[in-house]
Amino acid sequence: MANGFTDQDDALLAELGVETDAKRASSRTPREERIIAGFEEIQRFVTQQGRPPQHGEDRDIFERLYAVRLDRLRELTDCRALIEPLDHQGLFAGVQSAPLSAADELEDDELLAQLGVDDATASDITELRHVRSAAEKRAAEEIANRQRCEDFDAFKPLFEQVQRELSSGVRQTRRFERKSEIAPGRFYILAGQKAYVAAMEQPAVNEHGNIDARLRVIFDNGTESNLLMRSFQKALQQDPAGRRIVEPTAGPLFSDRNEDGDEASGIVYVLRSKSDNPSIASHRDVLHKIGVTGGDIARRVAAAKNDPTFLMADVEVIATYELFNINRMRLENLIHRVFDAARLDVEIKDRFGNPITPREWFLVPRFVIDEAIDRIKDGTITDYRYDPTTAALVPRRDSSVAPS
């Protein structure tokens, strides 16, 4: 055989899972490899579109390029001989070749010149992959075409609220993927700006047979855009930093079960000490340890009586709240900052006699802890602090609590 492989060689390679055709292809000249690669691009177009590429000013630049390339392949005798065995779509059927020399190179820059594309930077077809289709250009124009939002004062508090929820860990962001949805009332991040879908018209089938709808999108810089849902989706997918902001109720932050797709983060726990130390026992009803763990709470407290962080005594679990899609450390820091004024100031010696100052015990009534959990759920916790004199959560003057 011309390629040096015998039938026995082919059989052995096949048993080893080696593509024998690929081996043979390596003997082709660079020009033949380039011609075949160009024809395979045409074949992919035919498979996707269900028809051969066509000429015309209204056609995509790639379709026009493929149409010119196909004409040249049909005209060049040596190209036909190389390509026809691969033509399973019948692109050469019934088309006679013209007497052109095999020396006529099938260069993309020459084909592009025939299309009126003479930019030197476009001589390599791989650079043309960055040419946007008409649909992509329309999508980009819609995103860029923003105007001043006349009623932004009505939306500004929503952006402030979602920022507080992001800072407190009540909300998180997720990469916007192809399967992600656009829905009214939800927040997204596009080009570094938070975007709020304020309204969506009734979805309908567009000219391409896809579901689409017109949106009113408000941006946190006080502008808005009236764009199509699919344009917004495409922009979020193509933006490397495109994100969706997770809803507080998407996979409840505190519940006994999670929804499909939610990521478990851990448990908020409230403990009460069983210590017989007089200074601790006298405050037993209002002294609570509040923490967040990603492990088994029962295992966490099993050795409490030997652990100074548990006041060297057994504890009882008063309440637990399972949480999803949230940063455990940031949430724990936030809770501790809210109750900082009621932090227990006590020194406990460990079993080796070393002094330890526990930092997670607070002189706070249980009902106030429940209120704090509710405010974590609705995202308002950063606006409050605990006042020991009134034993209540009170509004902060600067509303600037943030987890460290």
Q: What is residue 222's predicted lDDT score, i.e. its pLDDT?
A: 92
What are the domain boundaries of the chain?
A: 7-131, 135-245, 264-395
In this structure, which amino acid lies at residue 191? A
Torsion angles phi and psi, residue 238, rounded to 5: -80, -20
Please tell me the distance from the alpha carbon of residue 131 to that of residue 134, in angstroms, as a whole number.
10
CB count in 10 Å sphere of residue 323 = 28
As averages over each run of 10 residues, the pLDDT of the chain (404 residues) reads 52 52 58 82 85 80 81 81 85 64 48 50 41 51 74 91 81 78 87 90 74 89 89 85 72 47 70 89 91 82 87 90 74 88 86 84 93 82 89 73 42
Tell me, letter by letter, the H, E, C secondary structure of the chain. CCCCCCHHHHHHHHHCCCCHHHHHHCCCCHHHHHHHHHHHHHHHHHHHHCCCCCCCCCCCHHHHHHHHHHHHHHHEHHHHHHHHHHCCCCCCCCCCCCCECCCCCCCHHHHHHHCCCCCHHHCCHHHHCCCCCHHHHHHHHHHHCCEECCCHHHCHHHHHHHHHHHHHCCCCEEECCCCCCCCCCCEEEECCEEEEEEEECCCEECCCCCEECEEEEEECCCEEEEEEHHHHHHHHHHCCCCEEECCCCCCCCCCCCCCCCCCEEEEEEEEEECCCCHHHHCCCCCEEEEEEECCCHHHHHCCHHHCHHHCCCCEEEEEEEEEECCCHHHHHHHHHHHCHHHECCCCEECCCCCEECCCCEEECCHHHHHHHHHHHHHCCHHHEEEECCCCEEEECCCCCCCCC
